[in-house]
Amino acid sequence: MATRREFIGSTAGAAALGAFLPADLAALELAHHEPVADEAWDLAWPGKLKGKHKAVFDVPEIESGYGVWRAAAWGNQYKQVLKAKATDISTVVVIRHNAIILALSDAFWEKYNIGKTKSVMHPITNEPITRNPSLMGEKDGIPAPWNQLGLTSHLARGSVVLACNLALRDCVELIQKQTGANEETARKEAIASLVPGVILQPSGVFAAVRAQEAGCAYVRAS
């Protein structure tokens, strides 16, 4: 099977429009052609959205992990201003496009030197880092209350965190390039590197639409 970039480059429509189409639209071109029905997708997660107040936060860019942080801010504000209970709030975080690496473990970041190759900066000090900023805590120089806004805290609070399968193909290609593994082996490694609790979906767009169908307000977070 052609790689994601090779497929997009060989598609007539994408080739004709590639000079000005955003990467997300190129990914949508791929999504139109690539079958996904044979995957055992977890589609039960909308049933976890029990709160009166529901929102889905779309995180397509790395941006030092700020998109993940922004997805946490509204909950406390609703509690303070609207006197909402914790059980009244349901949060969905969709990690896609360039931000897909925020859904991957520190071990993956270190093994493939993600921090350097993606020029990722510490969210507080703005210094270069080697770890996933969305997984950083107080011991990594993230003071309160920001140390409670990361991906691990989201999952602990019961937020639904979804990852884009189309974007994960970039990680598969990275593994293949650096290790020489075949696509099947590389995909298994990429999936195994997802932060525990993150749910892989056919695409980030698929996930965002499903969340909105379940009653979530949409917010572009990065």
The series of mean pLDDT values per 10 residues for the chain, 222 residues long, is 46 39 49 57 97 98 97 95 97 98 98 97 96 96 94 96 98 98 98 98 98 98 96
In a domain, 36, yes or no: no
As a three-state string, the secondary structure of 87-128 is HHEEEEEEECHHHHHHHECHHHHHHCCHHHHCCCECCCCCCE
139: domain CATH number is 3.40.1260.10
In a domain, 63, yes or no: yes
Q: What does the alpha-carbon distance between residue 116 and residue 121 come to, in Å, rounded to a whole number?
A: 9
The DSSP call for residue 38 is: T
**What size, in residues, is the chain?**
222
Number of domains within the chain: 1
Residue-range definition of the domain harbouring residue 172: 54-220
In a domain, 204, yes or no: yes
pLDDT of residue 49: 98
CA distances from 203 to 69, 154, 181 (A): 22, 21, 24
